[in-house]
Every structure is written in C-alpha cells, then in structure tokens.
C-alpha cells in the first residue's frame, strides 16, 4: 500500500468521522446528506487535480471507497424485499377494499406512463434545440468495443415484447423472486404480496381469529423491518460521500468537454422534466418548494448511487415520513417506479439518442411520422426496464431496434455515460415519488399535517425533530 493511498484513505476516514460527529450532535438528516455530497465533490476533485485522470492511486482509492459506498447500496438492496412485502401486506389488511387498490394502481401506473411520454417529447425538443446529431462523431477503441457489445445485446432486446414483459411480472416462483434472480423480480414480489394480502382479507369474516393472528404477525414483522430500514438509512451521508467522491475522482474532463453538447442537452431535459413534476405536484394542491426540500436526501442518494431499485427503501421512507403518503401507495409507487415509466433512463435518454442517430441513416427525426411512433415506442418500451445499472442502455436498445436504427452508435456516449446516468436516476426516483404523491393526494389519503410539517424524520431517535 503506497503512501499516497494511505493519505487518501486517512482523509476519507476523517471526513467520515466528521459526518459521524454531525450525527452525534443531531444535525438534521438533510444537512448531513448535503454535507456528505459537498465534501465528496471537493475531495474527488482534489484527487483528480493531484493525481490526474486514470491514475492507479485513484483506482485503488476507489476500491476502498466502494466498501462504504457500494456496501451501503448492498445494505439497501438487502431490505428491499422484506420492506415491500410487509408494507404492502399490512396496507391491504388495513384497506380491505379491492376497488381502492385498483384506483391506486391506475393512478400510479398511469402517472408513470404519462410522464414518460412527456419526458420523451422533452428529450426530442432538447435534441432539436442543441442541434444534436451522431453524424461526424468519431469512435475510440472503447467506443467501438461498446458498440459491438450493444449489438450483441440486440437480440435480447428484440425478443422483448409487451405481452412477454407482462408475463414476466407474474411470480411463477415467489421464493426465487425474493432473491432478485430476475430483472422483474421486484414487481413479482409486489404482486405476490398483493395476492397474500387479498387472500388474508378474504378470511377476515369467516375466520376472524386466524385473520387477527396473521395481522398481528404482519404488524410485528413490519415494526422490526422498519427499525432495520432506520438503521440502514442512518448510513446515507457516508454512502453518498463515498459514492460521489469516487465518481468525481474518476471522471474525465476531456471526455466531458468532447461531448459537452449532449451533456448540456441531457441535463436541460432532466431539469425541464423535474419542473414538470413540480407542476404536477402544484396542480394537486401541494407546495412544490416544500416538496423539493423533503425529497432532496433521496434524490442525492439516487444521483450518486445510480440505482433506482436501491433507492426504494429511502424512497418509501421519504413518501411516508415526509410527504404524508400512506405506506401502501408509497411502496406501490416506489416498486413499480423502479421497473416502468422511468422518465430519465427510459424516457429522455432513448428518445434523444434516436433523434441523434436517425440522420446517420438519412432519416429526418423532426417529422410527425418519426416523432409520434418514437414517443409511443418509448412509452411502451419503458415497461420492464430495470432500475439498476444498464437499464437505460437496455431501454435504448429496445427503442433503436424498434425504429430500425443502428444500435452500435450508442457506444459513442460511453465516456460520459456515468455523468448522464446520475441525473437520469435522480429523475427516475423523483418520478416514482411524484406518482405516489399524486395518487395519494387525488384519493384524499395524504396526511397534510405530515406534509406541511417542516420538521423531518430523525433517524437517530425515530421521532420528529425541528
């Protein structure tokens, strides 16, 4: 272990110690997350400036930072299945109303799909405003290799159809899906939990003693799982710090400048779509400014971790503890939002990419004959796109193959993919929160006292503090 590596790790540990001191002094959760994000950006930039891009020291430092960053993500992934199961089952046991469940499903999924269509349109608009095109772009060896890799994945994308995707949601073996073995395992677990909850409510009148025993068991399990969620979420500032430090330290400024137009267009589209989300929040009578303040921590985590699925526990906690959304709706929106209707990865990105690539084969992408089918394909193709690394690539393959466009050219963006993916993931997560918030508000189930309360969840004491 070199002196430089030891020094880097010492500095990183010192920052972690500082964040721990903040926790012990009960500094608010949002401020701790923001501090971790800011300190990570500064430290990552310092590593980049001192050692230069591609330095072995930075690579070695990143491996150790992964123990904290990726370790935190794995802990979040660990609690996804138990959290979804106990929360949805308990919500159905309290609901006892299949009609209400249908309304929740329709509102949540409808919002996710509609906003994806809007996101695709915004992606097309930004590509037009920034004059994006793949014509004339040159390929490096890495980009060529990436293009060949994408072509190898094309057959899998072409075989994917909406009926097959819907079938993949069904939990043929729920215990297998609890291991996350399939890309659609999260939705399968949700559906299994719904079946279990509905089955339990079906015996409430005939066998009340059995129903009460099961209900009590679910309640106990729910309390324990939520305590586990609290313990893991306390680590968020540390995870955000480690993740963003590695990203900034390993980014290439030259690559970013080379494709600066696409970076600016992408983030312009992401910010515009985020504003659309806020307009929807305002349209249902909620304060957009207060909403932004409350969702910032989970968006910061999504931005640094680049995993919509891994953000599910924090997503649910934000909706229930800060926005006043019932647990059933929050879990439904967070779970389905990680697998369909992803505004960033499955909406903006594939639409923008298709518009860029179309001119290379002599197609004018700004005609109604191209734009309308593209928006429709993007919206339908967003169903089943997993909220993990590579989800945006798979969405792009589906869209490009359906539009008969060359997929290999998507490899030209490999150098800036992580930078763009950070913003896309944050928008994906915000889209699922927006869907849950709208469904809850429209159904009159939002706890406005929680939403209007500027206090926040204190993960150190499990109570509200100013």
Gap between the Cα atoms of 437 and 284, Å rounded: 9
- pLDDT for 282: 96
pLDDT at 149 > cutoff 50:
no
Gap between the Cα atoms of 256 and 160, Å rounded: 33
Give the burial string for 371-389 (b: 16+ CB within 10 Å, else e).
beebbebbbbbbbbbbbbb
pLDDT at 84 > cutoff 70:
yes
Residue 163 three-state SS: helix
- pLDDT for 137: 54
3-state helix, strand, coil in the chain (%, to 5): 75, 0, 20
Q: Phi and psi at residue 465, in whole multiples of 5°?
A: -135, 155
Residue with tokens 């559906």: 191
Tell me the pLDDT tens digit for each residue of 266-300. Answer: 999 999 999 999 999 999 999 999 999 999 999 99
Indicate which CATH number applies to the domain containing 323.
Answer: 1.10.3860.10
Show the CA angle centred on residue 190, arms to residues 168 and 210, nearest 5°.
125
Indicate the pTM of the whole model. 0.78
* Residues in CB range of 144: below 8 A, 6 or more apart: 411
pLDDT band per the 50, 70, 90 thresholds, residue 411: low
403 lies in which domain range? 3-465
What angle do helix axes 56-95 and 29-51 make, rounded to 10 degrees?
A: 160
Q: Tokens for 214? A: 């099961």
Residue 290 three-state SS: helix
Q: How many independent structural domains does the chain possess?
A: 1
Q: How much is the mean pLDDT over the chain?
A: 83
- pLDDT for 81: 87
Count CA atoms within 13 Å of residue 292 on its CB side.
12
Count CA atoms within 13 Å of residue 131 on its CB side.
1
């Amino acid at each position: 272990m070199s002196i430089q590596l030891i020094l880097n790790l010492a500095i990183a540990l010192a920052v972690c110690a500082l964040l721990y001191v903040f926790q012990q002094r009960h500094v608010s959760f949002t401020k701790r997350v923001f501090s971790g994000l800011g300190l990570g950006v500064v430290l990552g930039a310092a590593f980049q400036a001192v050692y230069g891009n591609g330095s072995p020291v930075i690579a070695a430092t990143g491996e150790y930072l992964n123990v904290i960053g990726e370790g935190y993500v794995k802990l979040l992934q660990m609690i996804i299945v138990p959290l979804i199961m106990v929360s949805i089952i308990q919500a159905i046991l309290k609901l006892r109303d299949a009609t209400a469940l249908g309304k929740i499903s329709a509102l949540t999924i409808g919002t996710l799909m509609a906003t994806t269509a809007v996101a695709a349109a915004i992606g097309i608009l930004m590509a037009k405003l920034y004059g994006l095109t793949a014509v004339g772009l040159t390929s490096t060896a890495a980009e060529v290799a990436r293009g060949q890799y994408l072509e190898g994945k094309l057959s899998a994308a072409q075989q994917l159809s909406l009926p097959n995707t819907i079938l993949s949601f069904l939990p043929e073996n729920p215990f297998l899906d609890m291991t996350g073995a399939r890309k659609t395992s999260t939705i399968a677990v949700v559906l299994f939990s719904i079946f279990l909850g509905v089955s339990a409510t079906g015996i409430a009148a005939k066998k009340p003693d059995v129903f009460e025993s099961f209900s009590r068991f679910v309640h106990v399990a729910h309390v324990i799982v939520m305590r586990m969620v609290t313990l893991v979420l306390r680590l968020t500032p540390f995870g955000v710090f480690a993740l963003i430090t590695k990203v900034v330290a390993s980014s290439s400024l030259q690559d970013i400048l080379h494709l600066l137009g696409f970076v600016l267009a992408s983030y312009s589209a992401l910010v515009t779509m985020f504003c659309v989300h806020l307009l929807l929040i305002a349209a249902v009578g909620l304060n957009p400014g207060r909403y932004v303040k409350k969702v910032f921590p989970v968006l910061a985590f999504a931005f640094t971790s680049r995993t919509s699925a891994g953000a599910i526990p924090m997503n649910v906690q934000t909706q229930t503890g800060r926005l006043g959304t019932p647990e059933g709706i929050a879990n439904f929106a967070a779970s389905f939002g990680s697998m369909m209707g992803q505004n960033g990865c499955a909406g903006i990105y594939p639409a923008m990419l298709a518009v860029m690539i179309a001119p290379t084969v002599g197609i004018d992408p700004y005609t109604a004959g191209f734009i309308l089918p593209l928006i429709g394909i993007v919206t339908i193709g967003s169903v089943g796109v997993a909220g993990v690394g590579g989800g945006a690539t798979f969405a792009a393959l589906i869209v490009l193959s359906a539009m008969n466009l060359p997929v290999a050219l998507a490899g030209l963006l490999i150098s800036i993919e992580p930078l763009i993916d950070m913003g896309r993931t944050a928008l994906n997560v915000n889209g699922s929160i927006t869907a849950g918030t709208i469904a809850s508000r429209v159904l009159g189930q939002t706890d406005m006292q929680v939403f209007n309360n500027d206090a926040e969840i204190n993960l150190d004491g499990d109570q509200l503090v100013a």
